[in-house]
Structure 1
């Protein structure tokens, strides 16, 4: 995509989507009269739905269940009647048939809402690839902040927001506080040249995982350690790895709280978050 001159990137033509509703409070009773059949169908499709929400075949929507639950304002499990009822209410607000059933069509609609909270996506939709920041103006992570003491660069305000978020997470979650790897940085700013080299090495440019114009060139995107499945590296996009991540305490906390610090998620990658406090 063509890059604009520094400081001249146009503002998105589309306003970012409204933020998600406040996180729902846990409830002991997740029943909902009349939604039992929908719950049974969701329980089956949760792990068995054949679909390709990000252009790659998958089975089931369990990996995306935490994001869906946050968006539809429920704390109930995805196979419960209360979840189906909440999903139906969300469908109705979107002008769709309120079936309560999670389908590829409805998830695509929900994914669209999530994606339009990412300013980088709004620019990309206009064919604009943001000009990278001056690398001399970026700040480096501390050794204790980088995964394996890796040095990661970010824009100063994004780094400050990241640090506030990590501090809050460790105060709120004993599980996160007990493992210093949780929410550590394993990627931040990457130059266009570095991304081009990764694309060439992995042979997957402009697919679901690698792009010639990556959000990491903005200095606003972070890849965070949110756990991993046995036998997988922390940034593997393999389905078992992504599912394991979304069940861990770090990702669960981020889904419920990251927006308070200005961070939004790329739904396909549980580890990838973007700070929205500055124009890309």
Structure 2
């Protein structure tokens, strides 16, 4: 490049002080060195930036445009320098992630952690099933995905790292007819509508009635609390609703306990930003804590 930031600083210092000598003092260089710097710049681009006379230094019409552009470039360079320092420490910049619907209830905790650790960060979170988020990841619109990876394991440009797991169980509204049964089987579950983020059939159960499919965790929670839908969800994530007697987990005799893996999915051979690494570690700690809950 024919332009360097040092010469731009020289130009803006002269414009600010209206004097070569005062600008040289501010820049801690000699006045002849500053004069040579400006002369070199003017010769290289074939224009005159300052008119000099006994009354001082005045920018030319073209010089005023150069000064305006130089100030904008220098502001951008200062912003970049500031942001790079923040990025290196994970304290600023933009972080875009995607999560599966199951982890939507953990997003407030993840966001609180990151904004406490990195108050200058701009965090954007998309909540969809991982197979719907993967194109955003491949297009570099998000940095990573948290969720179940079984549906996208065959995509070659991705890497998968286990972050933890979370116990799943069937959940219904408090007062649901199944909560009064001494014994619940999968055949009994199949008589009721199914709520799911991924597909019409929940965990391979036969679909004898209707279903409601939505990748918004909060919508599913509200629906299940107000209808007879059954929902395969994480009781630990719904602990407040269960404690408040809004939802109730079911023990199903012929259905095994499920531990759903939570993976971190990212582009192959990509280094995570410090903010993303901090988020991964915090999610791992959250899942460990959830795994200890009854």
TM-score grouping bracket, smaller chain normalisation: under 0.3
User: When you count helix as a share of all residues, which structure comes out higher?
Assistant: 2
User: Which entry has the higher C-alpha Rg, 1 or 2?
Assistant: 2
TM-score norm. by structure 1 comes to 0.23
User: When you count strand as a share of all residues, which structure comes out higher?
Assistant: 2
